[in-house]
Amino acid sequence: MASDRSRNGASSLRRWTLIALGGLAFVVVGLALSDYLTPDRYVLRIAAPRGAAHDALVRALVEHAARYGVELTVVREAAGAGPMNLLAEGRADLCVMSGLPPVVEGVAEVVRLGHETLHLVALPALAAGGFDALRGARINLGPPEADWRDVAQSVFTFAGLKPGDDYVASELSAEALLATPTADLPDVVAAVGGDCPAEIAHLVRHSGYRPLRPGFLAALAQLRPGLGLATQPAGIYCPVPPVPMDSLPVLTVDVRLVARSDASPRAVKALLSAVLDGEFGRRAGLPGLSEARLGDDRQLRLHAGTLAFLRRHDPWLTPEFVEETEDLRNLLAALGFGVLVSWRALKRKRRRIVRETLHEVDALEREALRLETSDRVDAGALLRVRHELAHVKRRLVEQIVSHERFADPFLTELLAHIDALRRGVLEAVAHRAQAPAAEARPSDPGRGVRPSARPLPVTAGADAGGPR
């Protein structure tokens, strides 16, 4: 019974070792092929800020991303809830932002999509007087949820004007500006958008507003990250009469695509392929993504999908990869050593089982020979030897089946020897059973007796005196 338990334990150990190795191989192959086994359709929610320029940008993103297997679902921002609020609350996965996004937990930067222009227009008298004439004026900085509101406010702060003390801040949206009567419009309007937003063109053409010309824009662009300097051509706001009369220096604000950190890196990588490698990037004139283009002025860390896109052409076997997988290599080496030791122990155990079987068969063969050559008939002992040989044969067959050693000639020959020995013991038992029967058979009374010594037959009815 102990031998049976040891054999069952060895078979179970071998089976579980193979299962563990198969599982490890499956995990390694699955990780290597994960990029190819992943479905090529992704769904992301993108927050669309208010504004015609942003709306057009989001529509273009939705259209081109669908060709690359990325479905973008547009989430419209509500009053008082900007795109960053939608990201922080988990109602959106992506959003388009103007300016430098604030540091928010769980939000990462994906890519820069270009830039927009900061437009500053004022009533003609205020525009001619410069920033000193703006004290006490009503300045519209955009709605509270506008992501570029702080950029507009920074221009007036740089000029020495503080909200509340030097001017009254207004919070009208682009739609509200278009619907407000001229008499109720603010004195100064700041807006971020394309080359000529609809509300700025409306104010210039129908209400007589004129652009402001700050002389410190270059200095502000150098001091504040995310800002640049550009020039607007003459007549951009109104062709006849041309407004402005000549080229106009303006600030540009970076447009960034940001995402939740837990958004799928593969989906973000596929979206970047649609933005930069497809028709969208060619039409928008976006250069290829690189570390230099990302810049050092960002406040948010890069998204994992952006890093994967940057490294999509890198060789997988790099010094960093080798260093990062050092612990894995040590683990695999330890597992391999453990498997080798287990295999050697299992092999030694198999050899020990075979040696024990040989010794047991030899002992039983000697016992059978002793019983056959003894003078005393002991058929029960011979049958017991035959039964033990059958038990040994069964264990040997289990050994062959459990370890799949069907082609081992030594074990096959040993089985044949055990069968021959069992047949010999059975023949010996049969011979011993026939010998006592022959000795105990009764002999014929007339065999070997002389005729004169045989008794005479007695006739019925005769008396004791003799025949009549």
339-347 contacts, C-beta under 8 A, 24 or more apart: 339/17, 339/21, 342/13, 342/17, 343/17, 346/10, 346/13, 346/14
The DSSP line for 34-90 is: HHHHS-S-EEEEEEE-SSHHHHHHHHHHHHHHHTTTEEEEEEEPPTT--HHHHHHTT
Q: Are 127 and 248 members of one domain? A: yes
**pLDDT in the model for residue 1:** 45
Do β-strands 138-140 and 188-193 pair in parallel, antiparallel, or remain unpaired? Answer: parallel
Among 203, 237, 254, the domain boundary falls at 254
Residue 355 lies in a domain: yes
Q: Are 119 and 243 members of one domain? A: yes
* Residues listed for the chain: 468
Between the CA atoms of 194, 195, 200 and 202, what dihedral angle is there, to the nearest 10 degrees? -110
Q: Are 247 and 284 members of one domain? A: no
At 16, the amino acid letter reads W
Beta bridge partners of 256: 97, 112
**pLDDT in the model for residue 446:** 46
The verdict on pTM exceeding 0.85 is no
Query: 284-293 burial, b for 16+ CB within 10 Å, e for fewer?
Result: eebeebeeee
Among 235, 254, 273, the domain boundary falls at 254
| Of 430, 353, 454, residue with least CA distance to 395 | 353
100 — alpha (psi -120 to 50), left (phi > 0) or beta?
A: beta
Residue 169 lies in a domain: yes
Domain that holds residue 401: 343-437
Do β-strands 42-48 and 168-170 pair in parallel, antiparallel, or remain unpaired? Answer: unpaired
Q: CA 271, CA 72: separation in Å to the nearest integer?
A: 9
Residue 334 lies in a domain: no
Q: Are 82 and 57 members of one domain? A: yes
- What angle do helix axes 409-439 and 379-402 make, rounded to 10 degrees? 160
Q: Are 282 and 351 members of one domain? A: no
Q: Which stretches does DSSP call E strand in 194-238?
A: 210-211, 227-232
Q: Are 306 and 356 members of one domain? A: no
Tens digit of each residue's pLDDT, the chain (468 residues): 444 555 555 566 667 777 877 777 777 666 655 555 554 678 899 887 665 556 777 888 888 888 888 888 888 765 556 677 788 888 889 988 877 677 778 888 888 888 889 999 999 999 988 888 999 999 999 888 777 888 899 999 999 999 999 999 999 988 899 999 989 999 999 998 888 888 999 999 999 999 999 989 999 988 887 788 999 999 999 998 899 999 999 999 888 888 999 999 989 988 888 888 767 767 666 666 666 556 555 677 889 998 888 887 776 666 666 666 677 777 778 888 888 888 778 777 777 777 777 778 778 777 777 777 776 767 777 778 778 878 777 777 776 666 655 556 766 777 777 778 777 777 777 776 666 555 544 555 444 443 433 343 433 444 434 433
Residues 358, 361, 365, 366, CA torsion sign: positive
Q: Are 227 and 298 members of one domain? A: no
Q: Are 155 and 228 members of one domain? A: yes
Q: CA 293, CA 313: separation in Å to the nearest integer?
A: 17
The DSSP line for 272-293 is: HIIIIISHHHHHHTPPPP-HHH
Largest CA distance in the chain: 189
**pLDDT in the model for residue 448:** 43
Between the CA atoms of 287, 288, 291 and 294, what dihedral angle is there, to the nearest 10 degrees? 40
Residue 336 lies in a domain: no
Number of domains making up the chain: 3
Q: Are 263 and 355 members of one domain? A: no
449 token code pair: 């007796």
Instruction: Specify the DSSP class assigned to residue 243.
Output: B
Q: Are 123 and 250 members of one domain? A: yes
**pLDDT in the model for residue 447:** 44
Contact 405, 399 (CB under 8 A): yes
45 — alpha (psi -120 to 50), left (phi > 0) or beta?
A: beta
Residue 204 lies in a domain: yes
Residue 454 lies in a domain: no
Residue 52 lies in a domain: yes
Among 254, 287, 305, the domain boundary falls at 254
- Compute the half-sphere exposure of residue 405: CA atoms within 13 Å on the CB side of its CA: 19
Query: What CATH code is carried by the domain that includes residue 120?
Result: 3.40.190.10
**pLDDT in the model for residue 455:** 43
pLDDT tens digits, 295-354? 555 677 889 998 888 887 776 666 666 666 677 777 778 888 888 888 778 777 777 777
| Of 426, 352, 422, 430, residue with least CA distance to 391 | 422
Instruction: Specify the DSSP class assigned to residue 335.
Output: H
Residue 464 lies in a domain: no
Q: Are 97 and 144 members of one domain? A: no
Q: Are 162 and 248 members of one domain? A: yes
